[in-house]
Structure 1
Amino acid sequence: MNSSDISLSKHLSLVLRHRPDSIGVVLDVHGWVPLDDLLAALTAQGSRATRADVLRVVAGSDKQRFEHDPATDMIRARQGHSVPVDLGLTPTTPPDVLFHGTPRRNLTSIRATGLERRRRHHVHLSPDPRTAELVGARRGDFVVLRIEAAAMAADGHVFWRTANDVWLTDRVPPAYLAEDDVPPA
């Protein structure tokens, strides 16, 4: 993506995940907003983003953060919300191991309390170490943690999988964190 697409992607993330009110749009219960409403609100805020720009960002996002439903011409963020939404996901059995990339400075807290969702709806986990590296590297010096997902599921923890292969759970207690961190590739 070019720099203007990256900027638009970040703005869409803010609006569709955290602050729809910042431009005056209202998400439905499942996080969707009509694309025309989004475009009108962006334009009213001084944005020059066009329908083609937004659809290009939706299609070209490296993490597939957004989805567009052509049948209803609505758009939403796939996950990562801090505003109330029901993504309509079905609980799913996770693989044996999942991964989480995080800044190294968070390790002491994570080892003590586990991974917590904080202001978001869920903890985000990756299906492979490389994806977790990409997530962790966004904030400098990082580590990749192994999550014993099958053991968590066996103990009653619920997992969901989004269409862009992000695994979600409510929290990861410290007991399910592998002691050996995955070294960066």
Structure 2
Amino acid sequence: MDKKEKEISKFISLILRHKPEVIGISLDEHGWADVSELIKGIDKTHKLDMEILEKIVSEDEKQRYSFNDDKTLIRANQGHSINVDVELKNASPPEILWHGTGEKYVASILDHGLIPKSRLYVHLSKDYDTAVKVGSRHGKPVVFKIYAGRMAEGGYEFFISENGVWLAKYIPKEFIEVYEPAVSQRLNKKKVVKNP
């Protein structure tokens, strides 16, 4: 994707995850938007046609979007702040998942666990490197090791989105550990407790 297409992709993300009303469309209960309405609404401010939209969907590095079978509908795979059911698959997680965030949120997470805040779910990565990238968007990154297998054994549900992001409604603090040793040492000096 070129710079302009990345800009359009971010705008599509805003519409399909948070604010469809910005371009005067609505989503159905499963988060689907009519493709022709989406194109028409976006084309008022950003040049968009079906060819560009297909390119954005196929080349998005995070695979944020999906078409239905005949490409008449489109939706974001996860990350919604509006209440939609994107028909997530309930799945058994691996033993360990990862969560990246900014350092400023660490104390709160270790006190209260991970909550979705403005989103519907807590987003978890299947690998450490992805969590670092996600955390970098929020300042100095901190990565949490999530004991997902133990959580699942305790009855907590996990879901996996179309693009492979693991999701949960809530991660209690007893299943969270700050992963980087240097960060752990620095935080322990501030009376933050790890939960192995």
TM more than 0.5: yes
Given that 2:102 and 2:140 are in contact with CA atoms closer than 8 Å, whether structure 1 keeps it comes out as yes
Runs of 4+ aligned structure 1 residues displaced above 3 Å come to 179-184
Task: Decide whether aligned partners of structure 1 residues 40 and 105 sit closer, same or farther in structure 2, where only a CA change above 3 A counts.
Answer: same
Match for residue 166 of structure 1? 165
Extract unaligned runs of 5+ from structure 1: none
Q: Distance in 2 between matches of 1:182 and 1:68?
A: 42
Q: Quick check: which has more Rg, 1 or 2?
A: 2
**Cα deviation code 1:32-62 (max 9, x no counterpart):** 111111011112x322112111111111111
Q: What is the Cα deviation at residue 70 of structure 1?
A: 3.8
Please state how far the C-alpha of 1:129 moved relative to its aligned partner: 0.3
Q: How far did residue 182 of structure 1 move?
A: 7.2
Alpha-carbon displacement from aligned partner over 1:58-116 (angstroms, at most 9, x marks no partner):
11111101111242521100000011111112311100000001001110111111110
* Residue identity in the other structure for 1:4: K
Q: How does 1:69-148 map to 2 (within 5 A)?
A: 69-148=68-147
TM-superposed deviation, 1:179: 4.2
SS of 2:143's equivalent? strand
Residues paired across the two proteins, number = 183
Q: Aligned in 2, Cα 1:58/1:182: closer, same or farther, shift over 3 Å?
A: farther
Change (3 A) 1:88 1:159: same
Deviations 1:116-148 (A, max 9, x none): 001111000000001111111123311111000
AA at the equivalent of 2:95: D
Code of the residue aligned with 2:110 in structure 1: it is R
Task: Return 67-76 or 77-86, whichever deviates more.
Answer: 67-76
Distance 1:5 1:183, change over 3 A: farther
Asked if 1 retains the 8 angstrom alpha-carbon contact of 2:8 and 2:46, the reply is no
Supply the distance in 2 between the matched residues of 1:166 and 1:46 (Cα, whole angstroms).
31
Name the residue aligned to 1:56: 55
Unaligned segments of structure 2, at least 5 residues? 184-196
% identity of equivalent residues: 36
Report the 3-state secondary structure (helix = DSSP H, G, I; strand = E; otherwise coil) of the residue aligned with 1:115.
coil
TM-score, reference length from structure 2: 0.89
Q: Distance in 1 between matches of 2:137 and 2:145?
A: 18
8 Å Cα contact 2:145/2:176 also seen in 1: yes
Give the conservation status (yes or no) of the 8 Å contact 1:116–1:172.
yes
Conserved? CA contact 1:146–1:181, under 8 Å: no
